[in-house]
Amino acid sequence: MDKPNRIFSAKDSCKFEVECRAGKAGGLRVGSESVCVKVGQRLRMDGAEQIWHSVEIHAQQDDNENLVIRVFVLHPDWDEPLQIASIRSRPGDGDCLTALGCNLDHVTP
């Protein structure tokens, strides 16, 4: 995986950066206060082809000012998405000694 060249610095007000490469369709690189990305894939369901969003990524600041990225897997046979990762940072907390906290427990919202 390539190490990204940052287009935003710590001085910028953006909380998250998104870089997306979509083959011949092009790409996107932006900074934002929050992010929701859905990745779909073609499948056959109920006798027809359709696109199913099987992965979602949500990034936002929580009530405690932590920055949280949550990764979900979705399946047509499931009633709810399954969170497979939660990645948390506390950039505003100078006393925090952990750059990133990762929780890989599987959780239903």
H/E segment holding residue 51 = strand 48-61
Structure tokens at 105: 């427990």
Q: Which residue type is seen at 4?
A: P
Q: Is 19 helix (H, G, I), strand (E, B) or coil?
A: strand
Rounded to two decimals, what is the model's pTM?
A: 0.84
Q: Are 17 and 34 in contact (CB under 8 A)?
A: no
Q: Is 105 helix (H, G, I), strand (E, B) or coil?
A: coil
Question: Helices then strands (H, E): number in the chain?
Answer: 0, 7
Q: What digits encode the pLDDT tens for the residues 2-56? A: 555 555 565 577 899 899 999 999 999 888 999 999 999 999 988 999 999 999 9
